[in-house]
Amino acid sequence: MKIPPSMSAELQEWNSGKGIDLESWVSCSGNFALAVGYITVFWPKFVEFDGYILREGFSEEALRSFEARENQDRKTVEWVMNHLHIADIQYHGCKDLSKDKIRVLGATLQEIYSAKLKAQFPQAPCIVEFYQPDNENDLFEYQISFWQAKHEPTAV
């Protein structure tokens, strides 16, 4: 993993300017409560429900509401139900939110979700998308989501 420039600058401030590597920094700054909490983001539980693959804990009421909207296909419903705004991983107003960190997190989550979904649902291949907005400075619009390939519209 390439360390984002904003993170490199933070790491370089450690040890009287000698710097510190990312793993050592985590062992100095992190805590086990957060590590356990991050499991829900970095290795979420997925379930099959009514032909969908969804993140565990989804709302059936929300699912049915999205299904009932006009012109909603199963791909769109699955995408909306499974999406996660990368900025929402931390609290609103987190001071170290930056474009380079969001991009590293989004790309990494895309790899993780792809691997987990393939292992858990080999019979139902999924497409995992790391959505990056046209306005790359809108940090709250970077999202990760997925849908089953069988829901992908076919070309006519």
Q: How does pLDDT run across 96-150, given as a tens digit for each residue? A: 999 999 999 999 999 999 999 999 999 999 999 999 999 999 999 999 999 999 9
Prediction pTM value: 0.90
Q: Are 133 and 97 in contact (CB under 8 A)?
A: no
Bridge partners of 128, per DSSP, are: 146
Q: Which residues of 13-50 are buried (b: 16+ CB within 10 A; e: fewer)?
A: eeeeeeebeeeeeeeeeeeeeeeeeeeeeeebebeeee
**Dihedral of CA 47/50/53/59: which sign?**
negative
Q: How does pLDDT run across 44-76, given as a tens digit for each residue? A: 999 999 999 999 999 999 999 999 998 889 999
